[in-house]
Amino acid sequence: MKLFISLLALGTTLYANITLPNNFQTNFHQSITNDQGKVIKYEGTVLFKNLQQSFTNNLGEEVSSNRSLFKWSYTAPTQKEVCTDSTQLIVVDHDLEQVSNYLIDDGINLEEILKIAEKISLKDYKATYKDIEYLITLDDKQQLGQINYVDSLDNAVKIIFKNMNYNSNITDRSLECKIPDMYDIIKG
């Protein structure tokens, strides 16, 4: 779950030659290692879309805002979908036949992390944000390849992105979690 909160605020332009398009889709492999050395591995696909919206405020000023949509579809070791719009997080656990809804109040802002990231090698960047150090690695195409960090519970988190496909044709509908009627709904 930390992965989703970590990636909520992913922007379209990142610091120092790290650029992301308005959308992408990719496979991911995630490992979480606790402080006793126990490792949990996950894999699946992720879709990302950045929505840029403009509107006129009460003062007649043009205002623009960004909203990031993510959908993580886990395929192993369990089947679940996690969807977020940077404000709400929905987890559909198909094995448990339940849906959990959460409001996100203090998620990790990856856009800010990447803004302060410093280049430490040809493909690696490092940033410290809210007392957590992040290592961001680009692939051979200078696309997002990997993120490593130790979360607030001392879990070492490693996320590897494979088959990154920038500028995919991603519809808003494909980013929605499908909730079967018979699943239990839990509000968090």
> Could you tell me which residues are beta bridge partners of residue 51?
67
Strands 98-103 and 184-187: parallel
**pLDDT value of position 19:** 60
Res 9: pLDDT: 36
What is the Rg, in whole angstroms, of the alpha carbon atoms belonging to the chain? 17
What is the predicted pLDDT for the residue at 5?
43
Task: Tell me phi and psi for residue 178, to 5 degrees.
Answer: -90, 125
pLDDT at 59: 73
Name the residue type at position 45.
T
Asked if 12 contacts 66 with a C-beta cutoff of 8 angstroms, the reply is yes
Please give the tally of structural domains in the chain. 1
Residue with tokens 């993580």: 72
Contact 44, 38 (CB under 8 A): no
Q: Which domain holds residue 85?
A: 2-187
Q: What pLDDT is stored for residue 71 in this prediction?
A: 92
Question: Please, is 149 exposed, middle or buried when counting C-beta atoms within 10 Å of its C-beta (0-12, 13-18, 19+)?
Answer: buried
Q: Residue 133's domain is classified under what CATH number?
A: 2.50.20.10
pTM for the whole structure: 0.78
Per-residue pLDDT of the chain (188 residues; tens, 9 = 90+): 544 444 443 433 344 456 666 788 999 999 999 999 999 999 999 998 877 655 666 677 776 666 678 899 999 999 999 998 777 889 999 999 999 998 876 555 556 677 788 899 989 999 898 888 999 998 888 888 999 999 888 999 999 999 999 888 888 889 999 899 999 998 86
First to last CA, the chain: 13
Residue 12's pLDDT is 35
